[in-house]
Amino acid sequence: MAANFSTVLCISNYFKGGDFLRELKNQGNKVFLITSEKLKEEAWPFDHIDEVFFMPGQDLDWNLDTLLQGVGGLMKENRIDSIVALDDYDVEKATFLRENLRIPGMGQTTGRFFRDKLAMRIKAQDEGIQVPAFAPLFNDEDINQFADHIPAPWVLKPRSEASAHGIIKVHDKDSLWNHIHELGDNRLYYLVEQFKPGDVYHADGLIMNGKPLFCAVSQYLATPMEISQGGGIFRSASIPYGSEDDLAIQKVNKQVMKAFGMQSGATHTEFIKCKEDGEIYFLETSSRVGGAHLAEMVAAATGVNLWAEWAKIENALAKGLSYKLAKTKKEYAGIVLTLSSQQNPDLSSFDDPEVCFRVPLDYHAGLIVCSKDHSRVRALLDDYAARLSSGIASVAAAPEVKKFH
């Protein structure tokens, strides 16, 4: 017999997931949130959260033993049915808690495939999924073998950072070794990978009990790595439904989810279509909703609110209920987003009827457009990127990675 309510513990080091928290409460559940005390003043949907707990510091500053003891104390009077990580950096914390408290859901071994880029690549390669040539940085001879046989350029990637944070592009063997020596003992937390020029896509999906329920494929028109390396205007847009690229990426995305053991929740996975051979290569995946307001872009194109539907899936799992995704639409949407030197830049001149969302972030300028016409979306994004570049856009240096998961 299905329970009337469940108790869900959500973890988030970043201010996000408001729609998830609201929908979880609207489904009649008890909702707890653990976040950083630095985010205490953010506009969390407190009226949809039963209680919020704050940890000192942010992300890697959290003491996992303190976290475990705190949750253990909470469980004295509350039976926790599920634990949900709302951001990439919270996956380890959630899997650690589930393992120690024997709560159902993704454990630490499976969690590695959705956080550790080295584990991702090894698993994908073992399962016959194409990945760019790579090597861990454990053994000097292996690194030399890689550099001597795999054509440059290469990228050094932190194994557990999100998006393009901390990536270093190198063009020759001497530079590669110079960067590795600079990393010192931290080389253990990096891998080296061949840089494949091509178009980068992201597949944003929902899955329940191992069955894919939804997947929207979009293309980065300016990739996170390009933005982090040289600045610029971030853009992404949905691609034509049923196109060759759409079908190919949908297919390999299903292979990745099955191979990695993803059971239920939201996923954000990135692929590259190599310009040299036209093949689709897996880059990385995560067990969460995509960042940079991609969820709002997907919602504009398909009518699917990934955060809310993820909450409905968690609700159904906890209560033993069935779940069915509502009928989706097939329109096209795109996002343009950049840092701004102004706290609240004036975007009133961007007044085309296709504008359906304005990014509500200080010192950012961002808009989402939606249309039934794919070419119209792309034309608007190109126009908006050019206009934002002249006078509104700002560039900030990427922060150095000093702590590692």
- DSSP secondary structure string, 35-61? EEGGGTTS---GGG-SEEEEESSSGGG
Burial category of 154 from C-beta neighbours within 10 Å (exposed 0-12, middle 13-18, buried 19 and up): buried
Torsion angles phi and psi, residue 193, rounded to 5:
-140, 145
Tell me the sheet residues that pair with 144. Answer: none
* Pairwise CA distance, residues 190 & 137, whole Å: 6
pLDDT score recorded for residue 341: 85
Q: Which two tokens stand for residue 298?
A: 């997907």
Tokens, residue 214: 């939804």
- Chain centre distance of CA 262: 15
Q: What SS3 class is residue 339?
A: strand
Task: Specify whether the backbone of 242 is left (phi greater than 0), alpha (psi in -120 to 50) or beta.
Answer: left
Considering the chain, what is the average pLDDT of its residues?
92
Confidence (pLDDT) at 398: 47
Give per-residue pLDDT as tens, 25-57.
999 999 999 999 999 999 999 999 999 999 998
Q: Where in the chain is the domain with CATH 3.40.50.20?
A: 7-112
Instruction: Give the residue among 301, 297, 322 at the shortest CA–CA distance from 371.
Output: 301
Query: What's the rounded mean pLDDT across residues 142-158?
Result: 97
Report helix, strand or coil for 145: helix
Distances (CA, A) of 97 to 75, 128, 375: 12, 32, 47
- Helix or strand (DSSP H, E) at 355: strand 355-358
| Distance from C-alpha of 203 to C-alpha of 377, rounded to nearest angstrom | 18
Cβ atoms 376, 321 nearer than 8 A:
no
pLDDT of residue 164: 61
At 83 the three-state DSSP class reads strand
Let me know: does 243 contact 176? Beta carbons within 8 Å: no
pLDDT grade for 391, boundaries at 50, 70 and 90 = confident
The pTM score is 0.92
**Tens digit of each residue's pLDDT (9 = 90 or more) over 254-310:** 999 999 999 999 999 999 999 999 999 999 999 999 998 999 999 999 999 999 999
CATH 3.30.1490.20 spans which residues of the chain?
Answer: 133-194
Edge to edge, the sheet with strand 51-55 lists 51-55, 30-36, 7-12, 82-85
CATH number of the structural domain 133-194? 3.30.1490.20
Q: Which residue has the tokens 């090597």?
A: 135
Beta strands in 275-319 (DSSP E): 280-286
The answer to whether the bond into 153 is cis (omega within 30° of 0) is yes
What CATH number does the domain located at 198-394 have? Answer: 3.30.470.20
Q: Are strands 154-158 and 168-170 parallel, antiparallel or unpaired?
A: antiparallel
Length of the chain: 405
pLDDT digits (tens, 9 = 90+) for 221-264: 976 666 655 567 899 999 999 999 999 999 999 999 999 999 99
The residue written with tokens 């900030």 in the block is 396
List the CATH code of the domain at 7-112.
3.40.50.20
| Closest among 190, 21, 163, 9 to 94, alpha carbons compared | 9
Query: d(Cα 261, Cα 310) in Å, to the nearest integer?
Result: 17
Which residues make Cβ contacts (< 8 Å) with residue 11, sequence separation at least 6?
33, 34, 35, 83, 84, 85, 86, 90, 93, 94, 97
**What CA–CA distance (Å, rounded) separates 365 from 50?**
34
Q: Give the CB-side neighbour count of residue 377, counting CA atoms within 13 A.
A: 27
Query: Residue 1: its pLDDT value, please?
Result: 41
Residue range(s) of every CATH 3.30.470.20 domain in the chain? 198-394
Strand partners, 339: 364, 394
> Would you say residue 402 has pLDDT above 60?
no
Mean pLDDT of 387-405: 65
Q: E strands of 159-307, at which residues?
A: 168-170, 190-194, 198-208, 211-222, 234-238, 265-274, 280-286
